Amino acid sequence: MGLWRGRRVLLTGHTGFKGAWAARWLARRGADVTGLALPPNTRPSLHEVLGTAHLAGEHMVDLCDLASVRRAVEVARPEVVLHMAAQSIVRASYHDPVGTYATNLMGTVHLLEALREIDALKAVLVITSDKVYENDEEGRAFRESDRLGGHDPYSASKAVAEVAVSSYARSYFMNRGVRVATARGGNVIGGGDFADDRMVPDIVRAARRNAALTLRNPTATRPWQHVLDCLSGYFAFAERLMVGEGEPAALNFGPPSDVPEIQTTELVERMQSAMGVESGWQHDVTPQPIEKERLSVDASEALRLLGWQARLDVKAAIDLTAAWYSAQARGEDMAAFTDAQIDFFEGLAA
Looking at residue 221, what is its pLDDT? 85
User: What's the pLDDT tens digit per position in 51-88?
Assistant: 999 999 999 999 999 999 999 999 999 999 999 999 99
Looking at residue 57, what is its pLDDT? 97
Q: Can you tell me the distance from the alpha carbon of 77 to that of 70, in angstroms, rounded to the nearest whole number?
A: 11
Residue 349's pLDDT band (boundaries 50, 70, 90)? low
In the chain, pLDDT over 90 holds for what percent of residues? 81
Considering only 14-28, 151-165, 252-266, 301-315, which range has the smallest mean pLDDT? Answer: 252-266
What average pLDDT does this structure show over 154-172?
97
User: Is there a domain that residue 290 lies in?
Assistant: yes
Q: Which residues contact 343 (CB under 8 A, 6 or more apart)?
A: none
Q: Are 110 and 218 in contact (CB under 8 A)?
A: no
Looking at residue 257, what is its pLDDT? 73
User: Is there a domain that residue 2 lies in?
Assistant: no
Q: What is the 3-state secondary structure (H, E, C) of the chain?
A: CCCCCCCEEEEECCCCHHHHHHHHHHHHCCCEEEEEECCCCCCCCHHHHHCCCCCCEEEECCCCCHHHHHHHHHHHCCCEEEECCCCCCHHHHHHCHHHHHHHHHHHHHHHHHHHCCCCCCCEEEEECCCCCECCCCCCCCECCCCCECCCCHHHHHHHHHHHHHHHHHHHHHHHHCCEEEEEECCCEECCCCCCCCCHHHHHHHHHHHCCCCEECCCCCEECCEEHHHHHHHHHHHHHHHHHCCCCCCEEECCCCCCCCCEEHHHHHHHHHHHHCCCCCCEECCCCCCCCCCCCCECCHHHHHHHCCCCCCCHHHHHHHHHHHHHHHHCCCCHHHHHHHHHHHHHCCCC
User: What's the pLDDT tens digit per position in 219-243?
Assistant: 888 889 999 999 999 999 999 999 9
User: Is there a domain that residue 118 lies in?
Assistant: yes
User: Is there a domain that residue 214 lies in?
Assistant: yes
Residue 278's pLDDT band (boundaries 50, 70, 90)? confident
User: Is there a domain that residue 85 lies in?
Assistant: yes
Looking at residue 102, what is its pLDDT? 98
> What's the chain's Rg over C-alpha atoms?
19
Looking at residue 262, what is its pLDDT? 83
User: Is there a domain that residue 350 lies in?
Assistant: no
Has residue 180 got a pLDDT over 90? yes
Following CA atoms 298, 148, 79, 231 in sequence, which dihedral angle do they give, to the nearest 10 degrees? -30
Considering only 23-37, 72-86, 277-291, 324-338, which range has the smallest mean pLDDT? Answer: 277-291
Residue 1's pLDDT band (boundaries 50, 70, 90)? low
Following CA atoms 197, 198, 203, 208 in sequence, which dihedral angle do they give, to the nearest 10 degrees? -70
Q: Can you tell me the distance from the alpha carbon of 15 to that of 189, in angstroms, rounded to the nearest whole number?
A: 16
In the chain, pLDDT over 70 holds for what percent of residues? 99
What average pLDDT does this structure show over 90-102?
95
Residue 197's pLDDT band (boundaries 50, 70, 90)? confident
What average pLDDT does this structure show over 193-208?
94
Per the structure, the complete domain to which residue 77 belongs is given by: 8-344
> How many domains in the chain?
1
Looking at residue 140, what is its pLDDT? 85
| Side chain identity, residue 263 | Q
φ and ψ at 41, to 5 degrees? -105, 15
Looking at residue 121, what is its pLDDT? 98
What average pLDDT does this structure show over 101-115?
98
Following CA atoms 209, 96, 134, 251 in sequence, which dihedral angle do they give, to the nearest 10 degrees? -70
What average pLDDT does this structure show over 128-133?
95
Has residue 350 got a pLDDT over 70? no
What average pLDDT does this structure show over 188-193?
96
Has residue 291 got a pLDDT over 80? no
Please tell me the total number of residues recorded for the chain in this structure. 350
- Average pLDDT score, the chain: 93
192: left (phi over 0), alpha (psi -120 to 50) or beta: left
What's 243's domain CATH number?
3.40.50.720
